[in-house]
Structure 1
């Protein structure tokens, strides 16, 4: 039933008790705040009456965010990313790269079954950043978390590829824009990346 306008609210039968009028207005789709304002009563009074009656407000439809699409590896390859290496499991606690990565800064991605799982930026250089996933420090929470994920998946026989790209820096109205940082954030905001905690927001 559609919510009533304030003009319609004023036509509620005046012979009803105040509590009955509160419940009737709520039943007609009027919000608790509008009920209090129209009847000249405190919000808490209207709220208590509706709460005692098992109804405190008009249910509002939830606006769900559209689901983000997955990021196929093919999209990154077509845009200039290259497959650089794979993660390899040496023993239960040790992972290494199949090939060394370059020392330049850039954006990297982890791919499983041709779908990107994680995207990151290596401002300190790709080789150094990826090294911390293999040997994470005690305070590096993301590296520790992904090290565990990678080891567990490799133990099940999964193949995990590492891609990277080195986008150019740009300018916006004369101001510097970091190419790698901007690309990383753009991918995280646009696509569903299961290992990126920011991607779910």
Structure 2
């Protein structure tokens, strides 16, 4: 049985991508990609010409969000994830101010989030997720699995100011997070039921941020 077959078999048994990665000793992204791989196109379908007047269009892939982009945009490195006892912990305490954070591996951001009630508390919650905090539980499992490998998961933060538009308040942190998610490829950010169910099962809510989760 190939590694991909093992991944599919474990996924069929209800295991999440992070759990499969930990069990098989592989990268989370490998397990995630196999689980989410759609049916392969046949050679005939791949080479079939498009109808006249209707050229075939392919979705444009989003660019990676690199550390160079983050730093040039005002992000700073605050530390990295470590395992303290049986829990995740941040190597260096983060500020208590609200802001945006990014989890970076090998120079590429894999996840961004917003901390509307303080970066220190938001990052702390990933190491001790509550029973209803499904996003925290999902990210905790992913990061724990990644830390078994050679690459560190670094944390970058930014604290943009709030703005005003036509006399109305604009949350700078929330706007920055949304803009990054819309523009860049961030494989750990989940938007939509299909991607979420592939990792966590159909019982999970179809949103990247869980209802009732405190930020």
Please classify the TM superposition score into its range, dividing by the shorter chain length. 0.5 to 0.7
Residue 132 of structure 1, CA deviation = 0.9
Q: Once the two structures are superposed, what CA deviation does each residue of 1:106-148 show, in whole Å capped at 9, x if it has no partner?
A: 0000000000000000001001111111111111111000000
CA distance in 1, matches of 2:164, 2:108: 31
Paired position in structure 2 for 1:25: none
Residue 175 of structure 1, CA deviation = 1.5
CA distance in 1, matches of 2:103, 2:171: 21
Q: Higher RCO, 1 or 2 (CA under 8 Å, sep at least 6)?
A: 2
Alignment of 1:71-90 (within 5 A): 71-90=65-84
Across the two proteins, how many residue pairs are aligned to each other? Answer: 142
Paired position in structure 2 for 1:94: 87
Match of 1:66 among 37, 45, 60: 60
Paired position in structure 1 for 2:141: 148
Q: TM-score, normalised by structure 2?
A: 0.62
Q: Which runs of 5+ in 2 are unaligned?
A: 1-50, 196-207, 209-215
CA distance in 1, matches of 2:140, 2:95: 20
Structure of greater Rg? 1
Instruction: Please provide the CA RMSD for this pair.
Output: 2.1
Q: Report runs of 4+ in structure 1 exceeding 2 Å deviation.
A: 60-65, 198-201
Paired position in structure 2 for 1:178: 171
Secondary structure of the equivalent of 1:150? helix
Alignment of 1:29-68 (within 5 A): 63-68=57-62
CA distance in 1, matches of 2:55, 2:124: 47
Is 1:118 matched up with 2:118?
no
Residue 63 of structure 1, CA deviation = 4.3
The answer (yes or no) to whether the contact 1:89–1:155 under 8 Å persists in 2 is no
Q: Which runs of 5+ in 1 are unaligned?
A: 1-57
Paired position in structure 1 for 2:154: 161
CA distance in 2, matches of 1:122, 1:144: 17
Residue 168 of structure 1, CA deviation = 0.8
